Amino acid sequence: MALKLYGAPMSTCTSRVLTCLHEKDLDFELVLVDLFAGEHKQPPFLVKNPFGQIPALEDDDLTVFESRAITSYVAEKFKETGYDLTRHQNIKEAALVKVWTEVESQQFHPAIAPIIFQFFVAPLQGNSPDQTIIDANLEKLGKVLDIYEAKLTSTKYLAGDFYSLADLHHLPYAYYLMKTPAASVVNERPHVKAWWEDISTRPAFKKVAEGMNFGEK
């Protein structure tokens, strides 16, 4: 049975998983969930994720939800397939991948998510972006990226001189950020900018980015 991913290409969380699946060169079926129609809050999907959030991945009799849990599962199960996203053959490098995936989740994401919400989601709800919220979180994000800038002076990627889940997990939110005036927070940091230009032009993500048109069905 092929892997079956339930989600929407424009979704940051779905695109995170899609990028991982393409990096692993896996066959899968994407089952579209219509967010505008509220399908993610209906019983057929709630069976897969009781929290009503996309995506969810089915692999035979196993269902996994939460995008970072899915990418970890896929990268571990198919570690010998496609690109090695976890550095499973080197315990020290693998540990650093886990460190920086946690940094993305605990430091980067909380700062960038409200910015993306204001620029892209608020208008869909009939509201104007709240510049106060944007500015406050840009300050937080800038402090995070200052640490990234320092780290990336010594290694090409966050966990080392190798691309990994630690980098991949940043792609969806950073992609949308770079479509806004707030892109300067990346562009003004040369090592962060070079890192972004590198990871965002990988073939796996370029495939996914084609469907990342927020606000369009």
Q: DSSP of 26-75, one letter per residue?
A: --EEEEE--TTTTGGGSHHHHTT-TT--S-EEEETTEEEESHHHHHHHHH
φ, ψ for residue 30, nearest 5 deg = -95, 115
Q: Is the pLDDT of residue 216 over 80?
A: no
Between β-strands 3-7 and 56-59, what pairing exists: parallel, antiparallel or unpaired?
A: antiparallel
- DSSP tally for the chain: helices H, then strands E: 12, 4
The tens digit of pLDDT for each residue in 118-139 reads 999 999 889 999 999 999 999 9
- pTM equals 0.95
d(CA 140, CA 6): 32
Is the pLDDT confidence value at 172 over 50?
Answer: yes
**Cα 147 from Cα 167, distance rounded (Å):** 15
Length of the chain: 217
pLDDT tens readout for residues 33-78? 998 888 999 998 999 999 999 999 999 999 999 999 999 999 999 9
Instruction: Give backbone dihedrals phi and psi of 162, rounded to 5 degrees, phi first.
Output: -150, 140
Helices (H), 117-209: 122-124, 131-151, 165-168, 171-177, 184-187, 190-199, 203-209
Residue range 194-211, pLDDT digits in tens: 999 999 999 999 999 999
Residue linked to tokens 């069976």: 47
User: What confidence tier does 1 reach under pLDDT thresholds 50, 70, 90?
Assistant: low
